[in-house]
Structure 1
């Protein structure tokens, strides 16, 4: 198992970089992720690149034998870009154009932003694609964060119409599929179709479901733009991935995983545990665990999802919590041993690398109360001490990392059904993810490992397949389950 850290050299004086690099190596780290929010530092004005600082940062880290995970910086377009091209900014479901000042403030469908995305990715790939210290690339960062999957701008309106025309072929076929005869919504032309927001009452759920599918496809397409731009210019030894969010449901992660070399994720156990109400029913008695470890059932489900989004490939934890977070409800501190526990949990679940977030606690802006392996003053924090404890365990970690997972139970996850139930739950407390979690947690408590696979997965390796809901089952799923059962498997519907 490889261990690494997220580092922001642009936040610190250059004379500090060699000190940090040496400390990273001494802590047993071998990977450093950089540049995920550094577009403004790379290109302070359009067409004016300043690579010197990034060149030097990579060289300093490489001098200590550290390998670099280089991120494309598109998760946060710089202010000059948003000011020059305001049409790239997303529009929320209330029709409001969003502003700069945070991150993910862009529309995935906007052609102007796609052009600038290709430009910055090409510039980075041309400069670092053959650099011997660059191990691989992370595309963007946490697609869909803060509700950014769905955009309601003019670019999305036209792109959605084109997407619908490709899917249905004729406007008559769309009318039949959506049941537009209801409430006198029969369309005569594609240009009559708007995005499903700002309606007086509830919009047509079929219209909404297709918009959710379109939004997911738009991000998959946007990711592919970056991959296609990268690949001709990077070494065949450099991987390409992106980091997922643990329990995120706005985006079809199976589709997003397709062209990636492997899947990676952000894992923040205490933060996810404080938001676990989304997985437990309101009437549930929540299991009691130590205040600083999170909920191991919630954490484990996230790991299982990541392992199964890209079958037969190990996943990475691209952001591993190493102290308190700053974005949850209580943001509890952690005790010695907790980071070691989380690292072993990820390893036992199929992770091949853990990249701790972050190296040093930031001095300013939105994440200044988020911990790192170093405190704000650069003194060692609890996570760094845990890394020292783990040095003696690295050989055993490597042995376990090579072991194959061999589950005999599959839970089926279908995003179309998840979104359809989300749009019309019929009961205020019912969600697809809650239903899935009921089965998953029960199997965990019985000591029965399970995979969470797509409805198109090969079911032959399993003995039991559980389908929590087949609300939008297609012929393909019915035939797959029938074949599985006829071969001796057990299906639970």
Structure 2
């Protein structure tokens, strides 16, 4: 579902402010057994759900044979009057061929304890099947009913801010034994009821799942069990996390204090980061648990997915800090994502591309967009042509499904002004009419656009562990930027230069040899093994671009006592021991030619001394002028670039352009720049598909320099070295001969 308005966030704040004292948890030993990452049950789940299983392979084979899916979320139970038949007719007219239902309606399905009502599900399943529209069933566990909250108040999570109160969604402890019992029961009851219905093509487990900050006594005890299993002894914990500081040393497992208090991020980021990792493991295990239950009933031709969301800065922004997406995706047949973004004059396509690249990389295959806006917030109502531009942008990154949240605007809820494809009057509108053109084109071109395969030479190496650690220490230097604020400028710069990218997870022993250039933003916490692997990648001929604060601490967020940047200094050919917050600092002599206003350094600067590196830029400052800001070093067969400061967008683009050129990755596509965006891949017929997007309100002419082909939307031939006309917010799709 969508992000709530500030009003809901305010209510949540009030709930926390007047929270009750935590209740004593029941049967914590059972919770510990459920949560231990190394438990036999978890290992069995992983074994059962691994991507190479026969069932998953069958699902993948089935999906390869399907058409593009174009759909909406649909909630019959929210409707103010009877209109199901009319909705189906309007959906068919728009070319909608799939709907997602049921993930929001536990209280409708189970109005009282063990009292069941499947009438809304049945009505929609039967109506959609009659209309030839496929259905995805969601498990309704992300918001639980009032009777369950009353019967078991301990289901409401205790967080670092206190006890949650009932009202908001996603306010529960997903490890709680009572929640698990009732969640499993509602899932099984729904699955038993719907499993044989011919309209169903797949299932979504939960919704934008996270641990929701759950940190009650039961979770704390489970965390201690996790720590015992991982570190074996308290001496190892004390040493790894530096707990002698402020007498935080733990000398008896029974004395292990709550992570909510003494060990918050400002006091011991090491233990805080480990607890965050543990909470992400809770999410991974929870989704695997749900997927396993669903697969007991699902047919081999039906998929299981989940709608992951991204970090939220008023819209989808970057790496989600609360979910280990690559680990959680292992339990799924298809990775799914929710992508929301600004439109109108600030539509860039960056969020569509980033969310798509990340989700495609989770399982190295095509993915589903399970939610994106049709109208969305009032400020997001799309200009003419923008809905089409957005739709084909999702396909260009490898999406096989595009679903809007949602079909109809809701008349009384927190999301009343998050508008669907239809407005509150349920009548056709310009956005709906534009969607009709998308549906027709998806149906007509499905066999040419589905299952697009992409091969990229560039990857962004990210790390949830580095993200947690970097964000935890932002108070230490008064930084306004988060981890994603460091990552995004580099991704954005490459996107605008039409460089295709994958994401690799730095915590998963990533395979790097498939790439020629790797971007490493703020790798603040990392193991020796990963840093040595990056050194070897450069030595073997690869190119790496590092930002500041990389290699600074180990995987336990303990700052290394060696020369910084630790370990990677070998490949980077530099060292530093001091850093500061710049005041009126720029780069000497404007080395990248960006002009005075763009040549400034913001937020952070490391005082770098080159050893073997070539200096690309020195600081311009009376005291810091002898120190390097940006360096480049030949190491073995490859090249390592290190950016020791927070640069402006213009500087970042120039640095990346230099890196691309030296990696021999400046190709024909790079002759085009934003607002012209081009993406490509190979379709299931083995032909190259090239998308051209105009992300501006001004018509553009593009010199088409690729192979002869056919423009699919107009069905017109196009020859190499001819002009391609793109209308405002327009799109062209070429299938090469």
Fold equivalence (TM over 0.5): yes
- Whether 1:86 aligns to 2:148 is no
1:109 and 2:175 aligned:
yes
- The answer to whether the 8 A contact 2:470-2:522 is kept is no
Q: Contact 1:462–1:489 (CA<8 Å) still a contact in 2?
A: yes
For residues 203-226 of structure 1, what are the alpha-carbon distances to aligned partners after superposition, in whole Å with 9 as ceiling and x for unaligned? 311110011001111111111111
User: Do structure 1's residue 470 and structure 2's residue 518 form an aligned pair?
Assistant: no
Alignment of 1:18-37 (within 5 A): 18-37=85-104
Structure 1 counterpart of 2:467, from 405, 412, 418: 418
Q: How many residues align?
A: 465
Classify the secondary structure of the residue corresponding to 1:263.
strand
State the partner residue of 2:124. Answer: 57
Over 3 Å counting, the alpha-carbon distance change for 1:316 and 1:367 in structure 2 is same
Q: Which residue of 2 aligns with 1:133?
A: 199
Shift of 1:118: 1.2
Instruction: Name the CA distance, whole Å, in 2 between partners of 1:244 and 1:29.
Output: 22
Query: 2:329 aligned to 234, 246, 257, which one?
Result: 257
Q: Give me the whole-angstrom Cα distance separating, in 2, the residues matched to 1:195 and 1:115.
A: 26
Equivalent position of 1:325 in the other structure: 377
Q: Give, in angstroms, the shift of residue 413 of structure 1.
A: 0.5
Deviations 1:255-295 (A, max 9, x none): 1111111211112212xx8xxxxxxxxxxxxxxxx43x534
CA distance in 2, matches of 1:215, 1:409: 31
Question: Is 1:159 matched up with 2:208?
Answer: no
Equivalents in 2 of 1:433, 1:477: separation in Å? 20
1: CA distance, partners of 2:385 / 2:254: 59
TM alignment of 1:215-294, pairs within 5 A: 215-246=279-310, 247=318, 248-270=320-342, 290-291=344-345, 294=347
Residues 155 and 172, structure 2, Cα contact 8 Å, conserved in 1: yes
Distance 1:122 1:319 in 2: 25
Paired residues of 1:128 and 1:234 also in contact (CA < 8 A): no
The answer for the alignment partner of 1:177 in structure 2 is 240
Contact 1:336/1:385 (<8 A) preserved: no
8 Å CA contact 1:149, 1:251 repeated in 2: no
Cα distance in 2 between the residues matched to 1:323 and 1:140: 24
Report if the CA contact (8 A) 1:93-1:198 is conserved: yes
Counterpart for residue 71 of structure 2: 4
Q: Distance in 2 between matches of 1:266 and 1:193?
A: 38
2:396 alignment partner in structure 1: 348
Task: Note if contact 2:303-2:333 (Cα within 8 Å) is conserved in structure 1.
Answer: yes
Q: Secondary structure at the match of 2:359?
A: helix
Q: SS at the partner of 1:366? A: coil
Return the structure number with greater relative CO, CA threshold 8 A, min gap 6.
1
Among 480, 491, 494, the residue aligned to 1:443: 494
Find the residue that maps to 2:291 and give its secondary structure. helix
Partner of 2:203, secondary structure, is strand
**Shift in Å, 1:155:** 2.0
Q: Secondary structure in 1 aligned to 2:158?
A: coil
In structure 2, relative to structure 1, the CA distance for the partners of 1:29 and 1:471 (3 Å cut) is: same
Check the 8 A contact 2:157/2:216 in 1, yes or no.
Answer: yes
CA distance in 2, matches of 1:391, 1:193: 57
Q: Is the 8 A contact 1:314 1:351 kept in 2?
A: yes
Please say if residues 348 and 401 of structure 1, whose CA atoms lie closer than 8 Å, have aligned partners that are also in contact: no
Provide the residue aligned with 1:43 in structure 2.
Answer: 110
Write out per-residue CA displacement over residues 384-433 of structure 1, whole angstroms, 9 at most, x where no aligned residue: 11122224522335423333112101110011111111111343123221
Is this contact kept in 1: 2:339–2:351, CA < 8 A?
no
- Aligned counterparts of 1:233 and 1:324: Cα–Cα separation in 2: 35
- The answer on 1:363 being equivalent to 2:416 is no
CA deviations 1:89-108 (Å, max 9, x no partner) are 0123222x112222102112
Q: Distance in 1 between matches of 2:531 and 2:465?
A: 15
- Contact in 1 for aligned 2:263/2:271 (Cα 8 Å): no
Query: Structure 1 residue 332: deviation in Å?
Result: 3.9
Counting only pairs closer than 5 Å after superposition, residues 169-208 of structure 1 correspond to structure 2 as 169-199=232-262, 202-208=266-272
Q: Paired residue for 1:286?
A: none
Q: 1:453 and 2:501 equivalent?
A: no
The alpha carbon displacement at 1:60 in A equals 1.0
Moved more, 233-242 or 200-209: 200-209
SS in 2 for 1:269: coil
Q: Deviations over 1:77-127 (max 9, x none)?
A: 0010011000010123222x1122221021122122112111111112222
| Residues 1:52 and 1:400: Cα distance change in structure 2 (over 3 Å) | closer
Query: CA 1:224–1:386 in 2, change beyond 3 Å: closer, same or farther?
Result: same
User: Greater CA deviation, 31-40 or 259-268?
Assistant: 259-268
Greater CA drift, 107-116 or 83-92: 107-116
- Give CA-to-partner distance per residue, 1:317-361, whole Å, 9 cap, x none: 1012000326xxxx3432222211111111111111101111111
Distance 2:137 2:339 in 1: 19
Q: What's the secondary structure of 2:157's corresponding residue?
A: coil
In the alignment, which of 405, 422, 427 is matched to residue 454 of structure 2?
405
Query: Aligned equivalents of 1:433 and 1:235: distance in 2?
Result: 39
Could you tell me which residue of structure 1 aligns to residue 363 of structure 2? 310
SS for the counterpart of 1:131 is coil
Contact 1:35 1:73 in 2 (8 A): yes
Give the equivalent residue in structure 2 for 1:282.
none
- Partner SS for 2:372: strand
Q: Which position in structure 1 is the counterpart of 2:584?
A: none
Report the structure, 1 or 2, having the larger strand content.
2
Point out the more displaced range, 113-122 or 385-394: 385-394
Matched, 1:334 2:398: no
RMSD of the alignment, in Å? 2.0
Structure 1 gap segments, 5+ residues each = 274-289
Greater shift after overlay, 385-394 or 40-49?
385-394
**Corresponding residue SS for 1:87:** helix
What is the TM-score of this pair, normalised by structure 2? 0.61
Render the CA deviation track for 1:186-211: whole Å, top value 9, x for unaligned. Answer: 11222322332244983311110011
